[in-house]
Structure 1
Amino acid sequence: MPTDHKFNELSSGHGFLESPRYHDGRLYLSDFFNTRVIVMDPKDGSWEKIADVPTSPSGLGFLADGSMLIVSQHDHKLLRRAADGTTTVHADLAAFCGGDANDMRVVDGHAYIGNFGFDLAGGAEPRPTNLIHVTPDGEVSTAPGDVLFPNGAELHPDGKTFLLSETFAHKISAYDRQPDGTLINYRTWAELPETHSPDGMTVDSDGGVWYGNALTEGPESGFYRVEEGGKITDQILVPDGWAVAATFGGPDNDVLYLITNATTLPDFAEGKSAGYVRTASVGRRGAN
């Protein structure tokens, strides 16, 4: 049986939170329904708005110069917010998106961006799409493989294996990341139970993936740790909403920040959600 862990509440009163990123001692998050990016004190949960994104922010990431990349969902743009708050369009993703642009992982200036592939809120049938790759210069292409709702992503601590949640395929996939940032050798890394729809993910220093089991409101709603091959070793059950995303942070990189949203698919379609930030100590450290 997986090891059970408990959580503590850090912050509430948000809309639909996504894409937590711990950076320079602070926690950054997107709030879909309040159309803003916020930054939070990871100790007491106090927060402030740092950017308005009228067409809904999603994935976040940082470049070496300190600027932030922000996925703008509905208009399929990748924005670049400079340290002084000036925001420009870093890349236009429209030609490569099926449905809304979504979560993102930035590695050495390269952005890897998922997209819904279909109209989730409108109840359309899921269909395959592609993971989008944006170079540091803003050039856009797609990675190989027809993927089903590419979502959270992370670089494995081996520095070469790029991991991807496929929400509606119920699996974690993998690529080999090349020195120029391109991805090759698409494959399955871990098959998950049919009742698990992996959303945002983070990786610990032992190579385990912690993922949120999204779109689930029942007894399996929660966060899970899976190893290559599909063995689930740990769980953090959440009784009051979707488990959406997680990231490690804190001075020793050993606090797991958990993003949950109390919503349903009908409520999500209407922009209704109550977002929470929670924390857990799971006896491991983050890899990145």
Structure 2
Amino acid sequence: MLVSVGDHRATGLGVVISARAAPIYSLRVPNCKMVLGFAFPSRVDLQWRRCHPTSSHPDGASMNSRFALLFASIVSLYSSAAGQTIQPTGPIQQVHTGFQFTEGPAASDDGTLYFTDIPNTAIHRLSKTGELSLLTDQSNHANGLWPLSSTQLLACEMDGAVVMHDLSGDSPHRIVLADSFAGKRFNACNDLVVDHHGGLYFTDPQYRAPEPWPQTERCVYYVANFETDPQVTRLTGDINAPNGIGLSPDGKTLYVIPSMQAEMLAYDVLGPGKIGSSRVLCTVKQVEGETARGGDGMAIDVEGNLYLTTHLGIQIFSPKGEARGIVAFPEIPANVTFGGPEFKTMYVTARKSLYSVEMPIEGFREFPAN
């Protein structure tokens, strides 16, 4: 079957959609340098091919990207027989663009959204009224962020430390919480999650680590009493590039997203900073031709569903590991969080941009530190 969508004269974009029997969709978005894959119950395969050159608006956003936004906002990418598909309730919006590599989105209680631009060593903040400002351009390649309050922001620095920024003054005051284990600096602290015992878990893979690696293993750590008397414990060192990390709403399960394997991991939390053996929670869908690419960041909603950033988009899984859908974006997502007035706005950092989309389920408002 061959269907011609036609020549979009106003945009200069022509698209041909072809369909054939196959279990996985592949979606090629011109100018976005990405291929998205997703499965539908109908089991057909789609390919988008550019037929005519695209035009660009003065703001630099090509009409190809705008066309992709339209399609991404209405497509639910795969469903599971075991549960209902979760899909956006509104269009995907490009909030800001022009960065180098965005990461670490995190929303505070006052409605402020923070995110990082790693190559520029920057932390940006977006007010609840939509005003963008630079918090700092000396973040030591900050990656994952965690607002404790409107005046306290935790950050994983890829230069080897977990820190807290005191935002109560005119400029941020950086306080080091942990920067070493067994006398050696961390490799490249990546992402973190705070529990309700006054501790935090964080991942420390090899990305941006100096050679040779200061820590010979790529680990997950726990920092107890990080605001008063930080104590660091190594929890596991057998994960292939641990990256994103999160806790279930009841705090009983720790999730870790490796970047170099398709299997996502879960651990029973036995106590503060104590976890059981790993188990495979789910296996993420792969880009065609790849077999061992995992995820990056993650968010969790109030029902315990997990939203994992992958090269195919945001892959959604139930707490039992059942596939709930994929939401595709014009750029490859790196990290995700919930925010907005009702906490149903999903914010996604994706390469050079920040995106938002409304979702049907409220995001989990993570544990505050005691």
TM-score by length of 1: 0.81
Counterpart in 1 of 2:119? 33
Counterpart in 1 of 2:98? 13
**Pair 1:210-2:285 in alignment:** no
SS, match of residue 157 in structure 1? coil
Q: How does 1:69-108 map to 2 (within 5 A)?
A: 69-74=154-159, 76-82=160-166, 83-84=168-169, 85-93=172-180, 99-108=187-196
Counterpart in 2 of 1:264? none
1:116 deviates by: 2.2
SS, match of residue 287 in structure 1? coil
Q: How does 1:43-58 map to 2 (within 5 A)?
A: 43-44=129-130, 46-53=131-138, 55-58=140-143
1:63 deviates by: 3.8
1:189 deviates by: 1.6
Counterpart in 1 of 2:327? 236
Note closer, same or farther for the CA distance 1:64–1:250 as it changes in structure 2 (3 Å cut). closer
Note closer, same or farther for the CA distance 1:97–1:193 as it changes in structure 2 (3 Å cut). farther
How many equivalent residue pairs? 263
Note closer, same or farther for the CA distance 1:65–1:13 as it changes in structure 2 (3 Å cut). closer
2:205, 2:219 within 8 Å by CA — same for their partners in 1?
no
SS, match of residue 260 in structure 2? helix
Note closer, same or farther for the CA distance 1:98–1:171 as it changes in structure 2 (3 Å cut). farther
1:67 deviates by: 2.2
Work out which of the residue numbers 226, 239, 245 in structure 2 matches 1:147: 239
1:128 deviates by: 6.0
Counterpart in 2 of 1:225? 316
2:116, 2:142 within 8 Å by CA — same for their partners in 1?
yes
Distance in 1, Cα, partners of 2:220 & 2:316: 23
Q: Cα RMSD (Å) of the superposition? A: 2.7
1:119 deviates by: 5.9
Distance in 1, Cα, partners of 2:300 & 2:138: 28
Distance in 1, Cα, partners of 2:234 & 2:247: 17
1:183 deviates by: 2.7
Distance in 2, Cα, partners of 1:134 & 1:260: 29
- Counterpart amino acid of residue 333 in structure 2: A
Work out which of the residue numbers 124, 138, 144 in structure 2 matches 1:59: 144
1:246 deviates by: 0.8
Q: Any idea what the Cα deviations from partners look like across 1:249-268, whole Å, max 9, x if unmatched?
A: 1111111111111xxxxxxx
Counterpart in 1 of 2:68? none
Distance in 2, Cα, partners of 1:153 & 1:54: 21
Structure 1: unaligned runs, 5 residues or longer = 262-274
1:165 deviates by: 0.9
2:117, 2:123 within 8 Å by CA — same for their partners in 1?
yes
- Counterpart amino acid of residue 242 in structure 1: I
Work out which of the residue numbers 230, 239, 264 in structure 2 matches 1:138: 230
Distance in 2, Cα, partners of 1:205 & 1:183: 22
Work out which of the residue numbers 354, 359, 364 in structure 2 matches 1:277: 354
Q: How does 1:119-268 map to 2 (within 5 A)?
A: 129-135=218-224, 136=226, 137-144=229-236, 146-195=238-287, 197-213=294-310, 216=311, 221-239=312-330, 241-261=331-351
1:106, 1:112 within 8 Å by CA — same for their partners in 2?
yes
Q: Any idea what the Cα deviations from partners look like across 1:153-186, whole Å, max 9, x if unmatched?
A: 1111232111111121222211222443433333
- Counterpart amino acid of residue 303 in structure 2: D
1:42 deviates by: 4.5
1:128, 1:148 within 8 Å by CA — same for their partners in 2?
no
Distance in 1, Cα, partners of 2:281 & 2:202: 19
- Structure 1 or 2, whichever has the larger Rg, is 2
**Pair 1:114-2:203 in alignment:** yes
Distance in 1, Cα, partners of 2:256 & 2:190: 13
- Counterpart amino acid of residue 35 in structure 1: T
- Counterpart amino acid of residue 122 in structure 2: R
1:197 deviates by: 1.9
